[in-house]
Structure 1
């Protein structure tokens, strides 16, 4: 048995929590097992996701808690940015982070608050969503519950569902069913959205590879984009989450901007055992 001590920091953005390590501290062949072990909330540190920092060029490698790779994470990229500042990797007020969903421009607004250009949504490229046809306002029935699905790519795969209320039991159960439906060959994040008024929505996300989370940054962007497309909200919206809020703005060119905070909540060494 081999025992390694891996330096880490843990952050959260609106309750969405992440373990963050630098690339040089890990062995690639052990990464998936390390992610699964460390993200376990009972026998590990516990987290929704795991982030690896690559420095040259600056890149965020994002993984779900089950070890699967995801293109991007909105709350995660803010936490990534705060980590880079805390570790002295970044000293600028504006910088670019590479992701599998393209380069993201980060602006440091003040202490622990960041604005991220999340790019434009993609509605037509089905290869990004892993579906055989465009899914927009498609009826989906689970028992006696009727949903309308809206699926597109907003830095990762998202399906938006508008509901009259956020019911934890139904969201957890129905989110899993929709996420794992065979029509989504890559699975999908499922955002349950309640529109409060034209400038406020509430939402929660069932994330592929993770399950229900307290917040999803890309999901908040997707939810506002979808609501805006359907005339349910304005171009600037406050997204209310169980443990915080995000500001989402859609500019005249269709680019989506996310503003929110990131907070370091732990720092130490993770004792990782491998055979």
Structure 2
């Protein structure tokens, strides 16, 4: 069986998007991992599978490069909205709304969740400033924005060896579903610089949900005001949030190329 795909990216966070709304495409963890492989597959941070659903324009399923299926991906949501024109999308992390704007695509991710059991954590802790640390990364803020994040604010972003410490935090037993690890430096009254270790994908050039989680954490802790400009290695995102409201993220989406491949070649 041959399948069509689109290669897209949001600020360098890249995806293989498969539209399976008209004809189903069977994706397993092993097959997703094979497609994502940058040496022997198509190559991507995440594989995105689009399926039909009754109460929205489409259902978006997300597979990380390690084959694991996850709940949410902010950059992929912008790409899918641009590719398909979808305005309401269902994800495992909840319903999402999208609209084209002057800055690209704006995604409404809904309200953030702060309860320890909503992150989730393994046991009750203050999620605004966790009383635990990992090699100097301390007092992280835990937030669920459709998927779990921890945000650390540091004085010097480049001094953190995120490639080494990221997987340690991601796989800590405190996070039974693992966690995305964000390290941020406040650079202005409404600006932060961010690097992200993504659960199941590693270091990426951008993470949309990480930008949202970090902006919310900065606003909640009085470190920045909304809207926050989040600068990532791949570029900038704008995040707007007020306590009690929904998170609105705006940024670009880029279509790179379209292609076809044999499904059986990937297991």
TM-score, normalisation: structure 2: 0.91
Is the Cα–Cα contact under 8 Å of residues 139 and 146 in structure 1 kept in the other structure?
no
- Deviation digits for residues 205-224 of structure 1 (CA, Å, limit 9, x no counterpart): 11111111111111101101
1:205 aligns with 2:202: no
Which 5+ residue runs of structure 2 have no aligned equivalent? none
Q: Name structure 1 gaps, 5 residues minimum.
A: none
Specify the alignment match of 1:137 in structure 2. 129
CA 18–274 in structure 1, closer or farther in 2 if over 3 Å, else same? closer
Is 2:115 the partner of 1:109? no
- Structure 1 residues 178 and 125, CA gap change in structure 2 (3 angstroms): closer
**How many residues were matched structurally?**
261
Check 1:125–1:219 CA distance in 2 against 1; reply closer, same or farther (3 A cut). Answer: same
Cα distance between partner residues in 2 of 1:37 and 1:67? 8
Q: CA offset at residue 141 of structure 1?
A: 4.1
- Deviation, 1:5, is 2.7
Structure 1, 156-165 or 134-143: larger mean CA deviation: 134-143
Q: Sort the Cα spacing of 1:252 and 1:164 in 2 relative to 1 into closer, same or farther, 3 A.
A: closer
- Cα 1:161–1:169 change in 2 (3 A) is closer
Relative to the length of structure 1, the TM-score reads 0.88
| Equivalent residue, structure 2, for 1:191 | 182
Pairing 1:55–2:47 present: no
String of CA shifts for 1:13-36, please: whole Å, max 9, x gaps.
0111110002255543x5322211
How far does the alpha carbon of each residue in 1:179-225 deviate from its partner, in whole angstroms, 9 at most, with x for none?
11111111000101110011111101111111111111111011011
Counterpart Cα distance in 2 of 1:274 and 1:173: 30
Is contact 1:39–1:46 with CA below 8 Å preserved after alignment? yes
Contact 2:65 2:201 in 1 (8 A): yes
**Paired residue for 1:231, among 208, 213, 222?**
222
1:54: how far off? 1.4
Contact kept, 8 Å, 1:190 with 1:205, in 2: the verdict is: yes
Moved over 3 A (4+): 24-27, 139-143
Distance 1:20 1:41 in 2: 15
Which residue is 1:75 aligned to? 75
Q: Separation in 2 of the partners of 1:261 and 1:25?
A: 28
1:44 equivalent in alignment to 2:35:
no
SS at match of 1:234: coil
